[in-house]
Structures are given as structure tokens and as C-alpha cells.
């Protein structure tokens, strides 16, 4: 019997093993995902998930940090890790002939990391430098400020990196304790995409991951929209960076396809309304776009632009004008058709990457509980109508909840507050 391209096995302890076979490639991407992220931390724990991400590569009883790095280099592997609001993942990509070695290394660092106190003290200043790097990068920092302004003092308003105060206070023991707390089998996914056989992969994963046992249930996720605020962060730089946040949709909302197309029409590519109006017609910005941030229970939709400090109010007014226009008249059918082709093209191009396919496996499972074939997504995209996009805009583009952040050489919030009115 022919093996299906996408396969799933659930171990007795609840760990899910997912694979997507791509026999035409000569590489494999593997990831170990945990359904725990920055939003699962208390304010006092903020930054621990990100610390775990760093410490996973800092040594096990059988490998030092250098030996881990050298082992990946010796097989031409590319390894990394990341932390998001809802997930933590360590992953790697190698030639298919080196899959057993990659599996051994990734399994070792995930299951056996020492969280050594000396290694932690060496890594602490590295993470503090990462915090500083984000704060020195205004087009990135303004988004961090926007999440704080939009969500307020709740988990989704926290920085994934944590606060300096927490980072200076944490110990290696704190990191290890939190890792043991979040390392619950029913929240772990081991997945791989590429030239791979599901049964062989599962047989290798089962002996090491099958012995993990859960200890305590983690609290559920709840979020409410913050009051929303206008935040001015005065800084002596060349540009003023503008970020606007309004209500979005949860990850699994059935209207997510319409939201994606609305994002494309508004500011998702070079033919979008924001790009054409603000950059091409008026020459106000080099960088301008809209974006989406979706979570299991909620979401935020937003727009960003970086402009001359004297053009802040004009730019905000133009962004709001384009948002309002989506509420009033349905988008032209030809424009929606182009947005659909753009979405489907982006999807198909991404599908050729083993890393993207590996991530899709995990994200589909975490957010939807199943693998979603590409054809199903394209069919859903094709079903979206201009009226659905207008109805979404009517629902989402409202004064509350909403937030505005301006970062740059602007001294008075009153200079631009009047322009921010949905």
C-alpha cells in the first residue's frame, strides 16, 4: 500500500508525530514544537520561554555547547530555535542521509539539556544584548510597543524577550523549573518534512519521546482586548514610525481567508492601496504595509509606515481613509481576483520549502487539529467574495479596540491624535 504524503502517529503519552513526505527533494527539516509561548507566562515569568530557547543549545550530559554546534556543522546542518506568543520550537535541516544524526542531536538537546548555571550566566548578557538590539531597531520596536498599547497589562502585551528586570533576576534553576513545567507530552509535536519515511521516523522517535510523562496541567489561555491607547515614544531618529492596531480574528476563524485577502488588498503587496497611495502617489514612505497577528482565541490587525516627522498626521489620515473605504464599497471583483492569485501563488511557492512544510504540519495541528491540504486552502480562498471582505471591514475597522503608536522625533501626541479616528 502506498504511504500517504502526510502521516500522523500519537504516542501513548500524547506526543504527536507528524511527517510530510517530499520524495523529490534531498533534504529533511525536523522540528520539536511545544504549544507553550510567551503568553503562557505570568508577568513574573516573562522571558522564560525565550531563555529556554537559548539554553537548549548550551549543553547536555553528553555534549557541550561547542560539541552541539560542531555536530551540526559537521553534517552541513542548519539549526535554530524560536519563541512566539504561543509556541516554542527547536528545529534543523540537513541532507536526508544525515537524518538519524540530526534526530539524535535535536532529541538530546530537547530531552537532556543541563541548563547549567555557568552557561546561563554567560548567556544572560547575550539576551540582554538582544533586547537592546530590538530597541535600537525602530521598525521592530514600534511593533513591540503596539502590542503593549493594544493588549495592555496582560500576557499578549508582554515582550517575548521579557523585561531587563526579569532577565537580571532569573537563575538557571528558574529556567529549568519552567521547562519542566511546560514540557507536557500533550503539548509536544515532533514533525518532519522532506525525503522521509513516516514509519522509520516514528520508530526512531518513539523510544526517546515515549517515556516523557506530564506533571501538572498548564492554565488555559484567555485574553481580552485592552482599552487601547495612543502611545508616543519620543526618540531622536530620522523617521517617525507609525503603528496602528485594531481588532483581528483568531487563527481558526472560518473568515480567516477573507481577512488574508483584505490584508493583501489594503497593504499586503506593492499593488495594495496603502503602498500605492502612501508610497507611489505621495512619496511619503519607503516602507508601508498592513499585517495580521492571530492567536487561538483572538487577534490583531494593523498597519505600519515610517515617514518624515512632519508627515505623521497626514499619513495616519491616509491609512484611516483606506481602512474606511473597505467598509463602504465592496472591493472591485478584479482586485479580489488578483489578491486571490497572489495568495495562492505565495502558498504554492512556500510549499516547495521543506522548512515551510514542516512548520505547516505543526501549525495546522496546533491551531486546527488536522493537516489542511493546499488544495483545500486554495478552494476556500476562491470562495471569498467582495461582500465578505466588506463585512469583515465593517466589523473590524472600529474605534474600539484600537491603538496607535508613534516612535520618533515627535514631541506632542496632540499633533497627530486628531488624525486617528476610525
Catalytic residues: 53
Residues 277, 262: Cα–Cα separation, whole Å = 16
Residues 82, 407: Cα–Cα separation, whole Å = 26
CB 243 within 8 A of CB 146: yes
CB 228 within 8 A of CB 149: yes
Torsion (CA) 263, 158, 92, 114 in degrees, nearest 10: -170
Q: Which of 101, 108, 100, 92 is nearest to 60 (CA)?
A: 108
DSSP 32: E
Instruction: Name beta bridge partners: 81.
Output: 90
Q: Could you count the other beta carbons within 10 Å of the beta carbon of residue 240? A: 25
DSSP for 265-320, written as a single string: IIIISTTSHHIIIIIIIT--EEEEEEEEEE-SS-EEEEEEEEE-GGGHHHHHHHHH
Amino acid at each position: 500500500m502506498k504511504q500517504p504524503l502526510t502521516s500522523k502517529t500519537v504516542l501513548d503519552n500524547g506526543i504527536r508525530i507528524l511527517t510530510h513526505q517530499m520524495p523529490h527533494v534531498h533534504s529533511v527539516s525536523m522540528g520539536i514544537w511545544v504549544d507553550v509561548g510567551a503568553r503562557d507566562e505570568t508577568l513574573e515569568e516573562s522571558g522564560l520561554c525565550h531563555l529556554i530557547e537559548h539554553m537548549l543549545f548550551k549543553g547536555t550530559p553528553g555534549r557541550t555547547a561547542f560539541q552541539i554546534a560542531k555536530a551540526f556543522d559537521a553534517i552541513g546542518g542548519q539549526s535554530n530555535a524560536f519563541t512566539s506568543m504561543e509556541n516554542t520550537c527547536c528545529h534543523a535541516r540537513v541532507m536526508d542521509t544525515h537524518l538519524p544524526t540530526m534526530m539524535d542531536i535535536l532529541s538530546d538537546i530537547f530531552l537532556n539539556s543541563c541548563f547549567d548555571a555557568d552557561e546561563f550566566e554567560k548567556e544572560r548578557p547575550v539576551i540582554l544584548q538582544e533586547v537592546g538590539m530590538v530597541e535600537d531597531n525602530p521598525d521592530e520596536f514600534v511593533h513591540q510597543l503596539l502590542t503593549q498599547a493594544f493588549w495592555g497589562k496582560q500576557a499578549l502585551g508582554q515582550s517575548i524577550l521579557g523585561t531587563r528586570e526579569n532577565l537580571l533576576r532569573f537563575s538557571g534553576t528558574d529556567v529549568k523549573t519552567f521547562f519542566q513545567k511546560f514540557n507536557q507530552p500533550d503539548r509536544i509535536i515532533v514533525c518532519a518534512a522532506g525525503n522521509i519515511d513516516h514509519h522509520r521516523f516514528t520508530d526512531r522517535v518513539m523510544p526517546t519521546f515515549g517515556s516523557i510523562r506530564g506533571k501538572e496541567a498548564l492554565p488555559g489561555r484567555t485574553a481580552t482586548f485592552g482599552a487601547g491607547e495612543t502611545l508616543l515614544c519620543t526618540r531622536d531618529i530620522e523617521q517617525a514610525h507609525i503603528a496602528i492596531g485594531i481588532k483581528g480574528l483568531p487563527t481558526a476563524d472560518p473568515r480567516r481567508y477573507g481577512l488574508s485577502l483584505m490584508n493583501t488588498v489594503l497593504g499586503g503587496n506593492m499593488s495594495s492601496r496603502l503602498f500605492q497611495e502612501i508610497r507611489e502617489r505621495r512619496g511619503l514612505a519607503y516602507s508601508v504595509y498592513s499585517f495580521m497577528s492571530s492567536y487561538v482565541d483572538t487577534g490583531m490587525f494593523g498597519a505600519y509606515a515610517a515617514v518624515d516627522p512632519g508627515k505623521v498626521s497626514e499619513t495616519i489620515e491616509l491609512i484611516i481613509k483606506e481602512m474606511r473605504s473597505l467598509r463602504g464599497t465592496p472591493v472591485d471583483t478584479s482586485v479580489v481576483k488578483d489578491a486571490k492569485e497572489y495568495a495562492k501563488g505565495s502558498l504554492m511557492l512556500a510549499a516547495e520549502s521543506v522548512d515551510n512544510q514542516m512548520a505547516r504540519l505543526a501549525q495546522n495541528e496546533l491551531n486546527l487539529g488536522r493537516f489542511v491540504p493546499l488544495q483545500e486552502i486554495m478552494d476556500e480562498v476562491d470562495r471569498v467574495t467582495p461582500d465578505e471582505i466588506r463585512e469583515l471591514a465593517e466589523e473590524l475597522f472600529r474605534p474600539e479596540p484600537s491603538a496607535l503608536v508613534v516612535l520618533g522625533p515627535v514631541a506632542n501626541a496632540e499633533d497627530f491624535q486628531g488624525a486617528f479616528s476610525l
